[in-house]
Structure 1
Amino acid sequence: MEMRQIRYFQCVAQELSFTKASQRLHIAQPPLSRQIRQLEEELGVQLFERLGRSIRLTDAGKFFFDKTMQLSARLDDVVVATRRIAESGKKWFGIGFVPSIMYGFGPTLFRKMRASGVQAEIGLSEMTTVEQLKALRAGQIDIGFGRIALDAPDIAGLTLLQEPLVLAVPAQHALAGRRDASLDDIADLSYVLYPAKPRPSYADHVIGLFEQRDHRVSVAFEANEMQTAIGLVAAGLGVTLVPSTVMRMQRDDVVFIPLNEPEFTSPIVMSWLKDSASPILREVVALAKQTAKEAP
């Protein structure tokens, strides 16, 4: 599938006429029709209904048009940003992060970066810790903030914080009125684990915490996103463990209970390529250390 085919499809969908679309695109109608047929064959769906001399989008065509228009708009933004970086002479600095750091550490660090005047165009990408490893090696990001340490010879890592874990339960749960809970209280509960993939992940960290105390986690459901896991908890489908900063999330249908288990923590781990000589990376690493030191 080529961008040219998608652009042709969008034009035909907007005009609902091969004749008008070919005039607008400045190409002959037969090659345009061929491109649309090839696109339909590649997708394995019919995008247009041919009604005599008129056409209209099928339901699949409407969906494809909506989504490709969103992609095109995003691509246009990327093109504009790329030109802006080239014209300004600024460097681009990519940061990968897991969503759970955005309840405390992440926003504080990013504010410090803006206040310090880091001389770079900052790109933020939400991704799991394992995805950060691939992105670091591919040069897609310059630094990652995750929940597990990356065991790789080419990656430098530093644990910035150890956040206590808290138990998230439905508002009607038997433990919802408790000020705190112990391992004995939570060991036999049914859990919603996240992320389900890719592994290893924070889910394996949670499983490991129980196994170190000779307990096995009973998994009711797995989710790929923390927000989804908390939603499943709200629905009464299980409980889950989340970093304590997530308690800042205001929900009426979920209660967060601190644990009387000092070992039940989750690290925030900073990772970067060992051979990177970027001065911006050194500046961001220093700011991250300062942010962690000042964390409550």
Structure 2
Amino acid sequence: MEEDLGILLFERNTRGVRLTEAGRLFVEQVAAGIDQLDHAVKVAGMTAAGEYGQLRIGVHGLITGSFLDNLLADYRRSHPCITVEMTETTARDAVMLIRACRIDVAFVVGACELPDCHSRPIWTEPLMVALPAHHRLASQLGVTWDDLASEQFLVRHAGTGPQVHDHIVLRLAGRWSQPAIRRFEVERGTLLSMVAQGFGVTLLGAASGLFPTAGVVLLPITDEPRPIVFSAIWSPHNHSAALRNLFALAGDMGRSTQSA
């Protein structure tokens, strides 16, 4: 090595061998390099196993105590070296962000079938209608779509608003008049406050009942044929192990919920 470097690394005498000053500095630098290489190897291995790195998630909203809230909390506890970044967005914008590789996965309402994205159902919730507490139907145990046919529906432009709008139109199609739907550029909390004030009614997943709003009653729609499906969508080119681990945890949680 001394010959290759052209540097004297050791002083040799009858009493033994010791490092020269140049040799001492060389060993220190080599040791630091080995430590950095060892760290790089460990980080690469953890990343390949989905235990290190980041996961960028798109959501339409997050309700404390909901399936998604519990999923993300459990994931962060079990994968503490993964940095979770969250973006609140509509389903349409989420797809654009996935295509641009700006997020890894988005959780949206409904079964999303796109030719250039993968999707899978993650959890379901019963569909509920939010009524003012003084509404004529508020004292019932449940309502039907016939009960709601003449109501004024309120939906948001953002969040799940587009899906809610389309679902109302689908369920009330074929009647003598089109459903009355008004769209607002407001947040979820403001929309529920408008319901409480009597502006109209809106549709929500059952998890919204975990975060009640004063003056609002949530009732199940008894003739809704199936619960709402919430799906994950992601790029087929995304091979993130961190994302696979999230899906594995979601599957475990889903099975635990069904068995309970």
Q: Do the structures match in fold with TM over 0.5?
A: yes
Residue 237 of structure 1: how far off its partner (Å): 0.3
Aligned counterpart, 1:99? 61
Amino acid across the alignment from 2:215: D
Aligned counterpart, 2:10? none
Aligned counterpart, 1:175? 137
**Structure 1 length-normalised TM:** 0.63
Preserved CA contact (<8 Å) 1:154 1:273:
yes
Residue 150 of structure 1: how far off its partner (Å): 3.4
Preserved CA contact (<8 Å) 1:170 1:254:
yes
Residues in 2 aligned to 1:294 and 1:207: alpha-carbon distance in whole angstroms: 34
Alpha carbons of 1:129 and 1:153: their partners in 2 closer, same or farther (altered >3 Å)? same
Residue 196 of structure 1: how far off its partner (Å): 5.4
Amino acid across the alignment from 2:122: L
Aligned pair partner of 1:287 in 229, 233, 249 = 249
Residue 291 of structure 1: how far off its partner (Å): 2.4
Residues in 1 aligned to 2:132 and 2:236: alpha-carbon distance in whole angstroms: 43
Alpha carbons of 1:255 and 1:108: their partners in 2 closer, same or farther (altered >3 Å)? same
**Which of these two proteins has the greater Rg computed from alpha carbons?**
2
Aligned counterpart, 1:163? 125
Residues in 1 aligned to 2:85 and 2:154: alpha-carbon distance in whole angstroms: 31
Aligned counterpart, 1:204? 166
Preserved CA contact (<8 Å) 1:196 1:223:
yes
Preserved CA contact (<8 Å) 1:162 1:267:
yes
Residue 175 of structure 1: how far off its partner (Å): 1.0
Residues in 2 aligned to 1:252 and 1:224: alpha-carbon distance in whole angstroms: 18
Residue 211 of structure 1: how far off its partner (Å): 2.5
| Gapped regions of structure 1 (runs ≥ 5) | 1-84
Q: Is 1:273 aligned with 2:235?
A: yes
Q: Is 1:109 aligned with 2:71?
A: yes
- Name the count of aligned residue pairs: 210
| Structure 1: 4+ residue segments shifted above 6 A | 212-215
| Gapped regions of structure 2 (runs ≥ 5) | 1-42
Aligned counterpart, 1:233? 195
Higher relative contact order structure (alpha carbons within 8 Å, sequence separation ≥ 6):
2
Cα deviation code 1:193-229 (max 9, x no counterpart):
2235898533223322333888742114434432222
Q: Is 1:138 aligned with 2:78?
A: no
Preserved CA contact (<8 Å) 1:130 1:199:
no
Residues in 1 aligned to 2:178 and 2:184: alpha-carbon distance in whole angstroms: 16
CA RMSD of aligned residues (A): 2.8
Residues in 1 aligned to 2:90 and 2:174: alpha-carbon distance in whole angstroms: 24
Residue 102 of structure 1: how far off its partner (Å): 5.1
Question: What is the SS of the residue equivalent to 1:263?
Answer: coil
Question: What is the SS of the residue equivalent to 1:269?
Answer: strand
Question: What is the SS of the residue equivalent to 1:146?
Answer: strand
Percent identity (aligned): 25
Amino acid across the alignment from 1:112: D
